[in-house]
A and B are shown apart, each in its own frame.
Chain A
């Protein structure tokens, strides 16, 4: 009897990445900047054993020299360059993959922080791609990258964003800083059942790497 894999229905059921848009004047300044996401079911919980084992395996093949040489690899380098270009110092505000590398060296391992954070850790370390997670039920419309308008602020933060701040936004308002904030989006609590895993692409990061990062993260969540 043929299983679901035999006729390809397993592949068809995989979540497909959706592409967001980038404000035209920002896209003109930063060719290659992009945003893609997948929506899936998940809730904040302890990671299952296969995911924890994978974190341990990752820890075992990651050393201090990897962290130093990482910045020479094309994808981590691309994020470092982008950080410099948007006025951030990647040695102060770390790129996502470098922050994970630093945490690995500090803690002695990739410490499990439960789901979906562990899924993002695995996907980011494996591919170098910057990932975030948002509660889908709190999003209005598709995601985009744009600069903030006067009077706008981030959710749960009363202070107004400086005009021109690069943000990830939905159809209504900015949700998070493009880089430099926590990977968990606003309002992602234990009740969230529908989440969006978001990948931010910069120039030099191939689309295949973005797709792979989203696929690895969704596979880890499905484990």
Chain B
């Protein structure tokens, strides 16, 4: 098929070796950034859902030009930056919640009716810790507060995950 081989000199790719090298370097960067984004996405799961979408350059697969590869690289870098920031904020929030949980466990009466879920401290499952009075109204009057630990409902959690 000589006509196909003739097209090896397609105008769009008839550029100096430098540009081909530049495209190769950009592809390498795209690969590295994709790996980093995948790692962050896995690290965040299931605490946080990260948006990893980068708008597609084309509707069909094609050899991307230099500027198109640059756009993909920049968009991936931005996604990673946003993902890192979201993870950092989530880590801070979970750390604060863990400290609050420790305080609540140490002094339930000072955290009346407070409820902290496992998700809020970055743990899997749908259980929670709840500061409640022992023996209902009598405990409220007497100041007998305790933290009740709920083990959650794994079945409904799994079903909800499937629905999502």
Contact = CB atoms under 8 A, between A and B. Distances in A.
A84 B54 contact: yes
Contacts of B27: 81, 85
A89 B60 contact: no
B38 A165 contact: no
B58 A29 contact: no
Interface residues of B, number: 41
Interface in A66-103: 68-69, 71-72, 77, 80-81, 83-89, 91-93
A77 B76 contact: no
Given A24-B8, A89-B54, A177 B161 contact: no
A39 interface: no
B34 A166 contact: no
Interface in B16-35: 20, 23, 27, 30-31, 34-35
Given A65-B45, A93-B56, A86 B64 contact: yes
Contacts of B56: 87-89, 92-93
A68 B40 CA distance: 11
B20 A147 contact: no
A208 interface: no
Given A86-B62, A165-B62, A72 B38 contact: yes
A67 B64 CA distance: 28
Contacts, number: 116
Interface in A129-181: 146-147, 149, 161-162, 164-166, 171, 177-180
15 contacts: A24-B5, A29-B13, A71-B41, A72-B42, A80-B34, A84-B31, A85-B64, A87-B68, A89-B55, A92-B53, A105-B162, A147-B10, A164-B63, A166-B61, A178-B61
Contacts of A68: 41-42, 45-46
Contacts of B62: 86-87, 147, 162, 164-166
Contacts of A64: 46, 161
Contacts of A24: 5, 8
B69 interface: yes
Interface of B: 1, 3-5, 7-10, 12-13, 20, 23, 27, 30-31, 34-35, 38-39, 41-42, 45-46, 52-58, 60-64, 68-69, 72, 76, 161-162
A73 to B, nearest CB: 9
Interface string A95-115: 000000000010010000000
B20 A88 contact: no
A72 B38 CA distance: 6
Given A25-B8, A84-B34, A149-B4, A69 B72 contact: no
B4 A91 contact: no
A74 to B, nearest CB: 10
A162 B162 CA distance: 39
